[in-house]
Amino acid sequence: MTKQTQKNNGSDTGYRKCEVCGLSFEGRSDKRFCSDACRNANKRQVQRISGWQEPAFVEKIHRMLRHNRQILKERLAGESKLIISKTDLIEAGFHFGYCTSIFSKEINIYRFCYEYGWLEVENGKILLVKNDRHTEL
Ligand SMILES: [Zn+2]
């Protein structure tokens, strides 16, 4: 097990109640648990609760969106507009189904991953754009 950092100023020790089992124990004011077993039990419980609140697919989708944004950012390389082939995005592992906002202009539907957007144009080409307005909430 990892050794806890000791911050011993001696002035804040006393009796307190373990947050897991309720036993009282002697320790510093920042100690919340009577033992490693209770500390680990609390950690497992927190992980279970957060796992329940946010299922694994949430993190997976976050990763896809970040991946998409990175691909668009690298292709644009500081430009505000660029036409590339769709194949290039497919080969880079771009996920066309994942975006953070949609913007229609006349008959065109732009999809954005944060500030970077794409529009399918003719002949397997994709127009990439950058527009910071899409990150304003
Ligand atoms: Zn305990």
pLDDT of 29 reads: 85
CA–centroid distance, 55 to ligand 1, in Å, is 29
CA–centroid distance, 44 to ligand 1, in Å, is 14
Count of structural domains within the chain: 2
Is-contact 22 32, C-beta < 8 A?
A: no
DSSP-derived 3-state class of residue 104: strand
Domain match, 65 and 129 both? yes
Q: pLDDT tens track of the chain, all 137 residues?
A: 444 444 444 457 888 999 999 999 998 888 999 999 999 999 888 877 766 677 788 889 999 999 999 999 999 999 999 999 999 999 999 999 999 999 998 999 999 999 999 999 988 999 999 998 888 87
In a domain, 84, yes or no: yes
CA pair distance 56, 52, nearest whole angstrom? 9
DSSP-derived 3-state class of residue 74: helix
pLDDT of 2 reads: 43
Domain match, 44 and 67 both? no
If you search the block for the tokens 């976050």, which residue do you land on?
A: 62
pLDDT of 52 reads: 67
CA pair distance 117, 101, nearest whole angstrom? 9
| Domain extent at residue 45 | 13-53
